[in-house]
Chains A and B, each alone.
Chain A
Amino acid sequence: MAARNTPLVLDFCGMKLSNPLVLLSGCVGFGEEYTRIKGFSNKDVGAICLKGTTLNARLGNNPHRVTETNMGMLNAIGLQNPGAVTVVKDYLPLLDFSETRFIANVSGSTIDEYEEVTRIFDDSPIDAIEINISCPNVKEGGVQFGNFPEMSAKVVEACRRATNKPLITKLSPNQTDIAENARCCIEAGSDAFAVINTVTGMSIDIKKRIPVLGNNLGGLSGPAIKPIALLKVHQVYQACKDKNIPIIGQGGITTVDDALEFIIAGATAIGIGTALFYEPLLCKDLADGLTTFLKENNLSHVSELTGTLRLNE
């Protein structure tokens, strides 16, 4: 899996990533937004997941869409997007594919919609497709597909029919047996996993006695969910390790040590989301920190750490 000429360069489902860092869907718009910040470059990360995209344009949820929580935040954007055809026609041409790998994030209300959106992205320069079967913030589809292994597998199967590009299934933490779900998705043709999506939660305005978010509930992200995400990565890794299925570990990673924990638990790549809101240039530091750790521990490549967790007897 590793391209060993440099310690962080990876092969991820046939994509060459310059480092294991992946900017997460929903945090960086359609790939260009963070480049507004001086010093930020898409070249600093291995891949960027674009905003969740459906077949038709969606306005998304009413405000408020985000709110801060202890060591994290809740969001309920509601998949605001201009529709897959517009994304391919108007947004992808603005991206510089020499800078990094771009991954589409596909969503839908029906299995047919997932398949159709995947087909639209298949006929585009996009490098890979992430299947969002775990969005907690829309009233139909999304999390309903993600919480049941059989349903998840059906979505993956449909997307698999529509593309030969790498398929990454984004798994929900809001389910009973995430490893079983992963097994079903592998059978259905998933090439990789993103673990985890946000954890559903709520925040209440005590003066008005209403939920703060317009959507009432939302997805919790940030350091508050890190221990949950770490365990889920460990569990999904058990279903993946013998099949050479890589995992993007994600959920509350803000430091080099966090990233290392996820890699040791079984992640091949590391997803960065909420932490970007804290420190927009964080990825440079994370990449440097990972390189330093490898050097200090006489490791020649980051993949030597993946899944090296030794459980206590």
Chain B
Amino acid sequence: MSQTSRNTINLEDAKVVEHKCYSDQQYVLRLYAPLTAKEAMPGNFIHLQCDHSIPMRRPMSIMRAEPDKGFIDILYKVHGEGTELLSKKCQGDRLNLLGPIGVPFKSTGYRKLPLLLGGGVGIPPMVFLAEHIKNNHKNCKPLLIAGSEISFPFQVTPSKIMVDGLPDGVIASMPLMEDWGIPSRLTSKQGYTGCYDGFVTDLAKIWLDTLDPERLQQVEIFSCGPTIMLEAVAKLAHKYHLPCQVSLEEYMACAVGGCAGCTVMVNTESGQAMKRVCVDGPVFEAGTVFPQ
């Protein structure tokens, strides 16, 4: 790295503003972290100390940032001791974090039909990206498809925004997207009402098949979720010759590029290389990490 990368990540004591619990031990945490909120972009993450008793930090995607108010929102699911302790934090508690970290999604608006595919705790960056597209690329018409095999961490609502070509009855949506006028649809194999019975890629394929060649050329895929889902997304993008960016996750120690603990194999012009998810990613071109 060059010295131009210096001073790009904040270290701040964030304050818990709100902490909402949803089913299946999922939480949305709103933090007052003004330095991070000011600079955060979709795809960025924070490296959060969940509790003083567990000093190793956890990387967590930023779901929303409100620079004016200094807020960032994080969605997480209790997974182990660290997130269990985090779930006990109350309004006013302080949490130390590093952020924002990582290469964000490149959203230029040059393709007018962004397709956002999120799975599980990979949904948050898609929410952030949807908001970013709404605010910055007004001529784009994004579609968000989110999948989960546990209850969705929001009150699922029937959508009032029509999406041509989707199966009848697939109307479950994310209320925040409805508020923003962005169509969203949900998928699950758990039989939830209004959700498509399948994976996000299955519903995405149905939608892509309804597009004429001209509209298909306007699609660009952005995705975050479990590795197995991202592999399927990369395959889908390849099949339809669509540009695709995926956000990866990996165990991390430093999260600033120092330890090389979070690397993934990436195909580059000069051959295979191990790239750090923290600072070389977490967003990569799908074809470089999941070669077809």
Instruction: List residues of chain A with CB under 8 Å of any chain B CB.
Output: 26-29, 32-39, 51, 59-60, 63-68, 73, 75, 77, 80, 94, 96, 254, 274, 276-281
Contacts and interface: CB of A to CB of B under 8 A. Distances in A.
A66 B279 contact: no
B141 to A, nearest CB: 36
Interface in B15-50: 49
A33 B256 contact: yes
Interface stretch (B60-68, B151-159, B260-268): B260-268
B229 interface: no
B263 A63 contact: yes
B287 interface: no
B251 interface: yes
A35 B11 contact: no
B268 to A, nearest CB: 12
Contacts of B218: none
Contact of B5 (A35, A59, A278): A35
A34 B258 contact: yes
B135 interface: no
B108 interface: no
Contact of B11 (A38, A65, A254): A38
30 contacts: A26-B259, A28-B258, A32-B1, A33-B1, A33-B254, A34-B258, A35-B6, A36-B7, A36-B9, A37-B10, A38-B8, A38-B11, A39-B11, A51-B260, A59-B273, A59-B274, A60-B263, A63-B263, A65-B262, A66-B253, A68-B251, A80-B263, A274-B253, A276-B258, A277-B55, A277-B254, A278-B57, A279-B55, A280-B11, A280-B256
Interface of B is mostly: loop
A60 B261 CA distance: 10
B98 interface: yes
Interface of B: 1-3, 5-11, 49, 54-57, 98, 250-254, 256-265, 272-274, 279
A65 B56 contact: no
A29 B250 contact: no
Contacts of A37: 7, 9-11, 98, 256
A65 B251 contact: yes
Contact of A277 (B11, B57, B257, B279): B57
B3 A75 contact: no
B260 A36 contact: no
A60 B9 contact: no
A13 B246 CA distance: 49
A75 B279 CA distance: 19
A96 B11 contact: no
A29 B263 CA distance: 13
Contacts of A77: 259-261
9 A-B pairs with least C-beta separation: A66-B261, A278-B55, A33-B258, A33-B257, A35-B6, A28-B258, A66-B253, A29-B258, A65-B261
